[in-house]
Structure 1
Amino acid sequence: MERQPASAATAPALPPGLPGDAQLLYGRNAVHEAVRAGRRRVRGLWATAATLAAEEWIDRDLVREAEPDALTSLVGSGDHQGVVAAVDPYPYVELEELLAHDAPLLVALDEVQDPQNLGSIARTAECAGATGLIICRHRAAEVTPSAAKASAGAVEHLPIAQVRNLADALTAAKDAGAWIYGAAGDAAGGRDPVAYDQPDYSGSVVLVMGAEGTGLRPRVAATCDELVALPLRGRIDSLNVGVATAVLLYEILQQQDRLDSAT
């Protein structure tokens, strides 16, 4: 039988009673971590025969077998890696929950709009042991299926707060005892940045990263206690925001680990 093109394949039927704001996660890591974390209910699960044979974690009582092209039609992407899950909406947390931790390490994103960058940063933050992530509610990427896939499922474990006004959220973090460090390649908020390895990153820390091309907005930069910059010695004048976040997070982690070892 001639194989149907993906555009003509019939997508599997969605489970009855699926909430209108449910998400269709795709990709092995994204789906696996959603199942493993258990933070949101899995209402439907589809996998190809090859994926079923290779992935022991898939619930055989819940899964339905589907052809690869059918999964492509279901999610609108060929990057599903043979598995798709219908899950409840992403469970954002309140900012107060993140600030209630003892000496939290938080990453705040100032209108970062690319879901791939959001996913990459979430993956790094989770791997570095960050307490959580703060994102903007408007003009910014949300935790979508593509962001979940880019994070390799890290968003299922990392608490993420979505705030209406980032500057106000940073002020609340300062009131809770955190120090706010904003990444800025050039002068921002009327101040020049210092070298990234100069500040004392002990205690409660919020690292603020701006959108590529625009950086930190003036009010956000003005709210930061200090601005930090990475050295750029080549001909390109900026790093990808995900890469810059990784470098800064691990500098903070290294400093904090040294302090813990000394006490």
Structure 2
Amino acid sequence: MSEHNGQEEEIIAGKHPVLEALRSGREINKIWIAEGSQKSVTGPITAEAKALGIVVQFVDKRKLDAMAAGVAHQGVIAQAAAFDYVEVDDILAIAEKKGETPFILVLDEIEDPHNLGSILRTAECTGVHGVVIPKRRSASLTATVLKTSAGAAEHVAVARVTNLAQTIEKLKEAGVWVAGTDVSAAQDVYKSKFDMPLAIVIGNESKGMGRLIKEKCDFLVKLPMLGRLNSLNASVAAGVLMYEVVRQRRGQ
């Protein structure tokens, strides 16, 4: 039930993810709280749930351990309607509605749910209008991702697409420039311009971007590597790039 693959319900675990789900207007069916939990942790959740007429049940902590399947739940679990993915057109519409230059992340087979959660958290902080993930060979919005994102996943539009290459073509047709990240790229990220409608592609943790995806990009950039290791964690690299876009756009 914690995996989202067409099922109608999903588990959200942890104080912040549950609270953000409540505040974002997500459809919550029921909340379970471990007996003897600290009021400082559960108080805001029970208050929000009561105001929204959502059933809260106090149960043995072991029940939550079984439901959350290895996710640190902090004594709070919610059962919600399945995550509502958006279309790519919706992401472009979000930017237009805000009167902002589109800023999109495309994740090419990010497999680690902790990486996806961290990327979504930074995306929310940096004003990314939406994140695109493929349906196959990619982490999806599970309880682990929601927990790692500290609730940010409730506020970032996520599109889940069948064909990433076709989606990139669609973005380009809509006037969005597509920048790929590649360690062998000639262009330094700090010598690149990111003030146009932009989608940044972050590749797989170990393989990087796929060949076809790389060919679809308008240009490739690399982060300078000054140490002995030649690679950064995917979520850290994504974070550096997102904040470079923010830096440039704030300077306009």
Residue 27 of structure 2 is matched in structure 1 by 41
Cα shift at 1:233: 1.3
Cα shift at 1:57: 2.1
* Match among 199, 212, 232 for residue 206 of structure 1: 199
Residue 7 of structure 1 is matched in structure 2 by none
Secondary structure in 1 matching 2:45: coil
2:135 and 2:118 map into 1 onto residues whose CA distance is 19
Residue 162 of structure 2 is matched in structure 1 by 164
Cα gap change, 1:114 to 1:169, in 2 (>3 Å): same
Cα shift at 1:232: 1.0
Q: Give the residue type in structure 1 aligned to 2:238.
A: T
Cα shift at 1:231: 1.0
Unmatched 5+ residue regions in structure 2? none
More helix by share: 2
8 Å contact kept, 2:42–2:76: no
Secondary structure in 2 matching 1:207: strand
Cα gap change, 1:249 to 1:126, in 2 (>3 Å): same
* Match among 106, 109, 115 for residue 108 of structure 1: 106
Deviation per residue, 1:139-165 (Å, 9 max, x gap): 111111111111111111100001111
Q: Give the residue type in structure 2 aligned to 1:55.
A: T
- The answer to which of 86-95 and 195-204 deviates more is 195-204
8 Å contact kept, 1:166–1:220: yes
* Match among 5, 12, 15 for residue 25 of structure 1: 12
The equivalences for 1:166-181 within 5 A come to 166-181=164-179
Cα gap change, 1:78 to 1:144, in 2 (>3 Å): closer
8 Å contact kept, 1:27–1:80: yes
Deviation per residue, 1:177-224 (Å, 9 max, x gap): 1111111112xxxxx330001121112110100001100111111111
Q: Give the residue type in structure 1 aligned to 2:161.
A: V
Cα gap change, 1:138 to 1:169, in 2 (>3 Å): same
* Match among 139, 145, 148 for residue 146 of structure 2: 148
Residue 61 of structure 2 is matched in structure 1 by 68
Cα shift at 1:78: 5.6
1:53 and 1:130 map into 2 onto residues whose CA distance is 32
Residue 83 of structure 1 is matched in structure 2 by 76
1:255 and 1:98 map into 2 onto residues whose CA distance is 21
Cα shift at 1:21: 2.8
The RMSD of aligned alpha carbons is 1.7
* Match among 107, 120, 136 for residue 138 of structure 1: 136
* TM-score for the superposition, normalised by structure 2: 0.89
Unmatched 5+ residue regions in structure 1? 1-13, 187-191
Q: Give the residue type in structure 1 aligned to 2:173.
A: D
Q: Give the residue type in structure 1 aligned to 2:244.
A: E
Residue 240 of structure 2 is matched in structure 1 by 247
8 Å contact kept, 1:51–1:83: no
Cα shift at 1:173: 0.8
* TM-score for the superposition, normalised by structure 1: 0.85
Cα shift at 1:51: 3.9
Residue 214 of structure 2 is matched in structure 1 by 221
Question: What percentage of aligned pairs have identical amino acids?
Answer: 35
Cα shift at 1:20: 4.5
8 Å contact kept, 1:183–1:229: yes
2:38 and 2:77 map into 1 onto residues whose CA distance is 11
Deviation per residue, 1:72-122 (Å, 9 max, x gap): 022222611110000000000001111233321111100111111111100
Secondary structure in 2 matching 1:58: helix
Establish whether residue 256 from structure 1 lines up as the match of residue 249 from structure 2: yes
8 Å contact kept, 1:193–1:228: yes
8 Å contact kept, 2:114–2:145: yes
